[in-house]
Structure 1
């Protein structure tokens, strides 16, 4: 963690719906007139799409479990190096993974490949990470310790599967059976490496559908926000002050279900994110300015 060069992040698995939180962060950055250095967790996967297919086939033949949820599928040491360097000097090196044909065409590269490593922009106010491992802690790597603010985004599991199946088939060209195999293959790593991160976040946003999702493999549509509730939980160690009185006043239909937990209608999720994030990020920036004056 760094006063001069704060780092904030979102952690959430593939299909969790982190895009909603990303939009809220971007609006807060704009409102506070902040310039953020953006880092994608996918940039630190160890394999491009073709390399991953070959690696998965070798693992299948050997009877081994392998997925991008686990540390062996990622360059987590390099990610921690970036976060450490940014915290110390406000710079670092990253790249982009080209998921979509349009962005691959723009980069002049095949889809499913990485752009070259490059330095982050100069003179940013903070670093913003979004990916699978923002709260990861392992024997040799500790990503969580570099986060000054960490948000978890996690829908109930059936909704997560529905969202992943829809996204990977509609946007990324995968067949439904391929996505189903991926879900099954990565489940041990989901339990071992993804789930524990949500106990290390400051606050978690969990979307709960109010329509039938009992068979996610047969679902035709993703439940809409108005067909959902969002459970917002502040962990005991949270660095964010939970102003429940403000949230209840500003969010129609919200209610407090436990001492550190509230529930909001799905349509209020982005507004809730902004109300919670804006003062927390403003506090980080105020601390940054104080540190700059002191130095």
Structure 2
């Protein structure tokens, strides 16, 4: 069983040369790149290698038009090569990664990628196979409501990729069967599921940031946030015991978009103090998205994930 062998090898290779591997999965325009960028900036690019597994597309945009599937289908991607490269990165070795240019839709010159202390892997299918999942210390799935994701995709593809709105909507419709079959099932396989959405039943004014809901599954040991949660305003953040999609009990962390800025700042400072990072306030770049827009729930979510990543690093050092 190759997926078990890679887990064994990663345990045997624990130490300063073995990176902490993080997967950030989700459908197109779910916010993966935004979440990843904030983590890279907070840790420092000298400590992080970030890659997108959508670079493993088998066909360019023109070639895909002749295929009976979309870019979401595993058959449209070199999944086996992705698995091999994730195994190499997970054991501290470099790769020659393919590159897909989303602007032109073409496959271009591959690039040398060397793993640093942290490797962030985002994309459509990083959790699709057992072997790829075995490479990660922490896996995250972004799950915004479909109507919100559709709006984000239309905005992104029209503003940044030159599509017309009707073409984006047609593409979303064509992709829906494969999204349901191959992308959304990864949600059940992730250690953390993040959902940015309005709070049901609230009539918040326009411009209120989306709230964040983090499902913290017991598939990994989550950092103890009790000291943080006991000392901050519950109006901004709170933890509840809820039921997962399979009916099992699970901790769910709620970060409220309607909270006052000073309440959210208190939460961020409390989490930052637990990270063991440099003194002072958390990076102001956390929570940034779009053209200079800001979301406190996004910033707090990124901080909580940083907490988890640094905790994984500490564990690796202790066991080496």
Say which of 229, 232, 241 aligns to 1:258: 241
Which segments of structure 1 move beyond 6 Å, counting only runs of 4 or more? none
Q: Alignment length, in residue pairs? A: 256
Q: How does 1:18-167 map to 2 (within 5 A)?
A: 18-30=32-44, 35-55=47-67, 59=68, 66-100=69-103, 111-121=104-114, 124-137=116-129, 142-167=131-156
Helix, strand or coil for the counterpart of 2:27?
A: coil
Q: How does 1:112-261 map to 2 (within 5 A)?
A: 112-121=105-114, 124-137=116-129, 142-209=131-198, 224=207, 226-241=208-223, 243=225, 246-247=228-229, 249-250=231-232, 253-259=236-242, 260-261=251-252
* Structure 1 vs Structure 2 CA RMSD: 2.6
Q: Distance in 2 between matches of 1:16 and 1:196?
A: 15
**Which structure is richer in relative contact order (CA contacts within 8 A, separation 6 or more)?**
1
Question: 1:177 Cα deviation (Å)?
Answer: 2.1
Q: Which runs of 5+ in 1 are unaligned?
A: 60-65, 101-110, 212-222
Question: 1:262 Cα deviation (Å)?
Answer: 2.2
Measured at CA, do residues 38 and 262 of structure 1 come closer, stay the same or move farther in structure 2, by a change above 3 Å? closer
Q: Is the 8 A contact 2:212 2:298 kept in 1?
A: no
Q: Distance in 1 between matches of 2:41 and 2:230?
A: 21
Q: Distance in 2 between matches of 1:158 and 1:258?
A: 27
Deviations for 1:194-236, whole angstroms, at most 9, x for unmatched residues? 112112212111011369xxxxxxxxxxx85x24221111123
Question: 1:250 Cα deviation (Å)?
Answer: 4.8
Alignment correspondent of 2:303: 275
Q: Is the 8 A contact 1:15 1:163 kept in 2?
A: yes
Question: 1:257 Cα deviation (Å)?
Answer: 4.1
Q: Distance in 2 between matches of 1:13 and 1:74?
A: 15
Q: Distance in 2 between matches of 1:250 and 1:95?
A: 45
Q: Which structure's residues are more often helix, by fraction?
A: 1
Q: Is the 8 A contact 1:95 1:115 kept in 2?
A: yes
Q: Which runs of 5+ in 2 are unaligned?
A: 1-6, 201-205, 243-250, 258-294
Measured at CA, do residues 247 and 96 of structure 1 come closer, stay the same or move farther in structure 2, by a change above 3 Å? farther
Q: Which structure's residues are more often strand, by fraction?
A: 2
Q: Is the 8 A contact 1:46 1:75 kept in 2?
A: yes
Question: 1:142 Cα deviation (Å)?
Answer: 3.1
TM-score (norm 1): 0.77
